[in-house]
Amino acid sequence: MHFQWYPGHMTKAKRAMQEDIKLIDVVIELVDARIPVSSKNPDIDTLAGGKSRILLMNKSDMADPAMLDAWIRYYEKKGYLAMAVNSKKRNELKQVNALIQKACKKKIERDRKRGILNRPVRAMIVGIPNVGKSTFINSFAGKACAKTGNKPGVTKGKQWIRLNKQVELLDTPGILWPKFEDQTVGQHLAFIGSIKDELIQSVELALDLIEFLVDRYPGILGDVYEVEENPDSAAVLEAVANNRGCRKKGDELDYEKVAFLLLDDFRNGRLGRITIERPEEFHAE
């Protein structure tokens, strides 16, 4: 299967982000905890330059709990302050404040030495589409925040959300497009539903997902769909279609329908908490 994206948008978004990043102290990058590598655009490393970096593995409520710590350690080794979050749970985001303070410790010390006390640090959220940036900003900022309006030295139209005495957040997230250097990245993004369904071949993708699940999470398909799991993905898909009554007029099995059913169940967490990518598959540089 061949996945494509829209490189045209990327240049413009990148340029805007380059400007925004100059204004901030810490870059808070969101990735999807189920695919912490494929949902991360490597260009951000160049764009973020010398800024402090925080990596939040969002949608952790849908990821395999056993994998979260391993991924945190993986990213910590790479120099990030990393944490697993569920942006839909406002209370769980409180710890992000402490992480921001930790990330900006040097800046805060520097300010203090210069006699500048209590200047809030400025943060910006970045990530690929659908990773949960808006949800995070809404939950993290809550309604307690007031927009601080334009200030001298701030790009026209930029709005800052004053989170508390210590942190201001740029209200618009930086959108990066995923990078499709390798087709696995496309496949993984398609699994989680981050590629428009018109662009994917659903049956082929569902077969790929079955192959992955039978290998890595044996028992799940058997339990959920009451089918016999075996390495022949097509046979498993057929069995699911039969059990779930996915048929066209004339009683022929509807493979498109069963493919979407399976993908939808996975994306909505009905197959349980599943992580697609494992740290040991990616060598830490």
Which DSSP state fits 132?
S
Site track 226-265 with ligand G4P (rule: CB under 6 A), x = hit: ----------------------------------------
- Residue 57, burial from CB neighbour count under 10 angstroms (0-12, 13-18, 19+): buried
- Residue 191, burial from CB neighbour count under 10 angstroms (0-12, 13-18, 19+): buried
Judged by beta carbon, residue 129 or residue 272, the one nearer ligand G4P is 129
User: Does 59 engage in binding with ligand G4P (CB under 6 A)?
Assistant: yes
Quick check: 97 and 163 in contact, CB under 8 A?
yes
CB of 125 to ligand G4P, least distance (A): 8
Site track 135-174 with ligand G4P (rule: CB under 6 A), x = hit: x---------------------------------------
Judged by beta carbon, residue 139 or residue 187, the one nearer ligand G4P is 139
Identity of residue 268: N
Quick check: 47 and 127 in contact, CB under 8 A?
no
User: Does 41 engage in binding with ligand G4P (CB under 6 A)?
Assistant: no
Residue of 38, 86, 202, 233 interacting with ligand G4P (CB under 6 A): 86
Residue of 43, 61, 211, 254 interacting with ligand G4P (CB under 6 A): 61
Site track 87-126 with ligand G4P (rule: CB under 6 A), x = hit: xx--------------------------------------
Cβ count within 10 A of residue 243: 13
3-state secondary structure of 254: coil
Strands 81-84 and 160-162: unpaired
Sign of CA dihedral 173, 279, 42, 83: positive
CB of 250 to ligand G4P, least distance (A): 34
Which DSSP state fits 129?
T
CA dist., res. 49 & res. 126, Å (int): 14
Judged by beta carbon, residue 68 or residue 207, the one nearer ligand G4P is 68
User: Does 62 engage in binding with ligand G4P (CB under 6 A)?
Assistant: yes
Can you give the binding site for ligand G4P, defined by CB under 6 A? Answer: 58-59, 61-62, 86-88, 127, 129-135
